[in-house]
Amino acid sequence: MISLPWFIILPSIIGAILAGFACSTMGAFVVRMNLASIGVAMSHAAFAGAAFGVMMGFDPTITAIIFSFGTALVIGPLAEKARLQSNIIIGFIFSIMIALAFIFLNYAPGEAAKGSALNILWGNILYIDFNDSLLLLFLSFFVMIFIFVFYKELISLLFNRKLAEASGINTKIFYFSILFLTGFAVALSLKLVGGLLVFALIINPTSTAYQFFYDYKKILIFSPLIGIISCLIGFYLSLMVDFPIGASIVIVTTIFFAIAIYVSPKRYKGN
Amino acid sequence: MKNNYIIYLENIETIYEGEKLPVIQNINLKIKSGEFIAIIGPNGAGKTTLLETINGLLPYTSGKGFVYGKEVIKNKLDIRKETGYLIQNFEIDPQTPFLCKDIVMSGRSGKIGIFKLTTKKDWEKVWYSMGLVGMIDFANRPVGKLSGGEFQKILLARVLAQQPRILLLDEPFSNLDFTSKIQIETLLNRIHEKHNITVVIVSHDLSFVPSSCDRIIVMEKGHIIMDDAKENILSSEKIDNIFQNGVLK
Ligand SMILES: Nc1ncnc2c1ncn2[C@@H]1O[C@H](COP(=O)(O)OP(=O)(O)OP(=O)(O)O)[C@@H](O)[C@H]1O
Ligand SMILES: [Mg+2]
């Protein structure tokens, strides 16, 4: 057990709750809209971006956002029209981003930078600072308002894009909004969960919620709830037994998912 | 004049993205408000393509198209808000996590308008149209758990809840048993008379053209080969070459 003063722990706990909320809420869209492969590509681009920031001495959060947005801009339109198959997106973007990230990290100057490099890889509870938490708070608010204001459009789009389009919704705007919000959530949660695992926080809680509900409203409520709980338990485990925080959170989400599959009334295979 | 028609297509040609040859061509179609039209033709004739060209889901590659007097290419969203489209053979996963009432409401999602929340009035429209198709008891059931015909009725309720000016129905009777066919036919006749909606249905089955239908369009290989009053089409000899006892050969 590591004991830390509350004023260090508290911002981290808040950061963990917000990261769980933002990532797992976006997960509810990513899973249903088959954006998993583009999401994986974006989260690894964010990872490469953060590594780039560390190498250049910029704020890694900013460069992570830029990289993941860039990826969304480039492959978003291709994936949208199904001109690019998802296994190609994964195979190509994923590997090139990981390669870039390791090259950038290798050139990170000085010991302090090497330290941040490791944090970006594995995540670190204490690496989340006040600014990151504030950004996560803004993002979480924004996501909540987005869902509240556009609820009817989003439900329509989540059910089926073509039907939504046929009833007069401009689905393109929503598709890209969802991509960018996901990119934001990933980039801001990177320091906590780590670049290699952050995507699990998007997919796993929603896949867990999927096992239980036939009503998407409930999935939209329970997915972030499961995400938040996973982050808190992961956080606690990490303090108790000194696990790396990212790994610890992801293991918790995976255990939830495994239990859900086992007890699920639906036995849904997930995504 | 294009303004006298609710649907006005002139020399329309539609090519699917990535393809070279048009799927429908030389389409000239003028439909007046309140008409009830059936489009028939063999598989692959281009019936679905024509419907999706009308509401702009597929962009036409040449010609001119106007719906409600507005150019289709430039006013797709506005046109679709007023146009109900029932998709042919829409399939879903049995695990799909959506309730029937939410699917029916989603028909109104474009029409209500952006930045507006759904109101009690919108829900009343939803209950009303679910009642019309006889599916009110299914409101809180997951859509994936319905039979093909039940789901077809939910999709029909979805477009009715939209309260459209034009109904484009692609094979509305597929999946329906005889009783349901009669029920839905009666419903379509009634809606058409009561609300003066323009109805365009696509059908395989000549024997199942609703009684309100006054005009039949026959398509083959991407062309409109006949377009006439129902009686004339049904009594024409040419039709016997395409149909046998009212059913496609
Ligand atoms: N997405 C597509 N890309 C390329 N060609 C297509 C596409 N969809 C349909 N086609 C082609 O267009 C032609 C007309 O198709 P369409 O779906 O309009 O026929 P249909 O009259 O509705 O047939 P059915 O009675 O089977 O529903 C077919 O030959 C088909 O191969
Ligand atoms: Mg068809």
| pLDDT-wise least confident of A187-191, B64-68, B115-119 | A187-191
Place of tokens 């001119």: B64
CB atoms B110 and A210 under 8 Å: no
- Residue A20 belongs to a domain: yes
Task: Please tell me which residue of chain A has the smallest CA distance to B108.
Answer: A167
Mutation target to probe the A interface, by most A beta carbons within 10 A, among B95, B105, B106 is B106
Q: Does domain B1-82+206-249 have CATH number 3.30.300.30?
A: no
Instruction: Kindly determine whether residue A152 and residue B105, on different chains, have CB atoms separated by under 8 Å.
Output: yes
Contact B109 A153 (CB under 8 A): yes
What percentage of chain A has pLDDT greater than the value 90?
A: 59
* Ligand 1 in reach of B16 Cβ (< 6 A): yes
Q: Tell the residue nearest (CA) to atom 29 of ligand 1.
A: B44
In the stretch 74-93 of chain B, residues with CB closer than 8 A to chain A read 77-82, 85, 87, 90
Task: Please return the burial class of A211, using the count of CB atoms within 10 Å of its CB with bins 0-12, 13-18 and 19+.
Answer: buried
Nearest to A182 by CA among A203, A154, A152, A160: A203
d(CA A235, CA A247): 10
Whether ipTM exceeds 0.90: yes
User: Is A268 inside a domain boundary?
Assistant: no
Contact B57 A165 (CB under 8 A): yes
Q: What is the pLDDT of residues A132-185, one digit of tens each?
A: 889 999 999 999 999 999 999 999 999 999 999 999 999 999 999 999 999 999
Domain count, chain A: 1
> Considering CB atoms only, which of B106, B115, B118 is closest to A159?
B106
* Mean pLDDT computed over every residue of chain B: 93
pLDDT at residue A120, as a whole number: 82
Contact yes or no for A167 and B81 at CB 8 A: yes
Task: Measure the CA–CA gap between A204 and A34, rounded to whole angstroms.
Answer: 14
Residues A38-90 pLDDT 10s: 888 999 999 999 999 989 989 889 999 999 999 999 888 888 877 777 778 77
B chain contacts of residue A33, beta-carbon cutoff 8 Å = none
Among all residues of chain B, which has the CA nearest to that of A151? B117
Q: Which residues neighbour A27 within 8 Å (Cβ) at sequence distance 6 or greater?
A: A201, A202, A203, A204, A205, A206, A223, A227
**Domain assignment present for A157:** yes
> Does pTM surpass 0.90?
yes
**A1 belongs to a structural domain:** no
Assess if residue A81 is contained within a domain: yes
Confidence at residue A135, expressed as pLDDT on a 0 to 100 scale: 93
Q: What CATH number is given to the structural domain containing A105?
A: 1.10.3470.10
Return d(Cα A190, Cα A188) in angstroms, integer: 6
Domain of A203 in residue numbering reads as: 6-261
Cβ burial of B233 (10 Å; 0-12, 13-18, 19+) is buried
Give chain A positions within 8 Å (CB) of B158: 163
